[in-house]
Amino acid sequence: MEFALLLVRLMRKEDIDQVTEIDRKAFPNMWPPVNYHHELQNPLAHYIVVADEEKTIGEVDVKIAPQKGFSGLASRVRQWLGYNRFSASETPFSGRQYIAGFAGFWVVADEAHIISLAVRETLYRRGIGELLLIGIIDLVAQLKARIITLEVRVSNTAALGLYRKYGFIQVGLRRGYYIDNKEDAILMSTEDITSASFQAHLQQLKEAHSRKWGIPFYQVAC
């Protein structure tokens, strides 16, 4: 698929069907499934998507696979808090932008923790995951947080390479963290993302990404 104009923006209620589809294919063992209607009302949670501004999706294009498997406590906690941050009205399927990927994070005090980042499996290796990571870092800085942390499977070499490229370093190891196969998780963290050195490096990476993929980055509006 070729894209006319990709845009990183906040997730809306009208995106939930597509995000849920992407989520369940990327994380098939997550149980219970994430309730994104609740997540968009959580004052700690922030979600972004990569959307194609000139492509829309029809109802037949959204196919949500049945959920199975188990997850840890975090997936349950994410559904407990409520506060209405969004006022977007529901949009008919025929008018919905095509969602290529999504990401989410929590912010507590001056620290953000990435809880999800996923791309449609048909769009791997197109720079979309990296674009989402750029969007997260940009939005976290706007929200006045300074540090970003995450967990990643020890076997996920592609993700590890991407995170290291953007300044994440290993700060710990969570043994048996993943419920499906008891795989260990590497805990990673950035330095202060508001520092001049980090921002200068980030700008270089943004420009390199744009040159490689032809996707300009526009600041995500809070």
The predicted pLDDT at position 221 comes to 75
Name the token pair of 183: 């795989």
The predicted pLDDT at position 105 comes to 99
The predicted pLDDT at position 17 comes to 96
Count of all residues that appear for the chain in the document: 222
Phi, psi of 21 (to 5 degrees): -60, -50
Please tell me the least confidently modeled range out of 24-38, 47-61, 81-95, 102-116.
81-95
Q: Is CATH 3.40.630.30 correct for 6-213? A: yes
- β-partners of residue 59 are none
Q: What is the distance between the alpha carbons of residues 40 and 167, in angstroms, rounded to a whole number? A: 28
Closest CA relative to residue 48, chosen from 57, 60, 39: 39
User: Which residue bears the tokens 């050195």?
Assistant: 197
Q: What is the DSSP string of 164-205?
A: HHTT-EEEEEETT--TTT---EEEEE-S-TTSHHHHHHHHHH
Q: What is the pLDDT of residues 150-200, one digit of tens each?
A: 999 999 999 999 999 999 999 999 999 998 899 999 999 999 999 999 999
- Which residues, in sequence order, are CB contacts of 190 under 8 Å at separation 6+? 137, 147, 148, 149, 166, 167, 168, 169, 198
The predicted pLDDT at position 121 comes to 93
pLDDT at residue 45 greater than cutoff 70: yes
Q: Which residues participate in catalysis according to the annotation?
A: 151, 163
Mean pLDDT of the chain: 85
Q: What is the pLDDT of residues 55-78, one digit of tens each?
A: 887 643 555 444 444 334 443 333
Q: What angle do CA 214, 219, 78 make, to 5 degrees?
A: 110
Name the token pair of 94: 């025929």
Omega prior to 32 cis, within 30 of 0: yes
User: To 10 degrees, what angle do helices 157-165 and 128-142 make?
Assistant: 40
- Which residues, in sequence order, are CB contacts of 108 under 8 Å at separation 6+? 44
Q: What angle do CA 11, 23, 172 make, to 5 degrees?
A: 95
Closest CA relative to residue 7, chosen from 59, 62, 57, 54: 54
The predicted pLDDT at position 35 comes to 95
The predicted pLDDT at position 63 comes to 55
Q: Where are the domains of the chain?
A: 6-213
What percentage of residues in the chain have a pLDDT greater than 90? Answer: 69
Q: What is the DSSP string of 77-122?
A: HTTT-------PPP--GGGEEEEEEEEEEEEETTEEEEEEEEE-GG
Phi, psi of 161 (to 5 degrees): -65, -40
Q: What is the mean pLDDT of residues 211-217?
A: 89
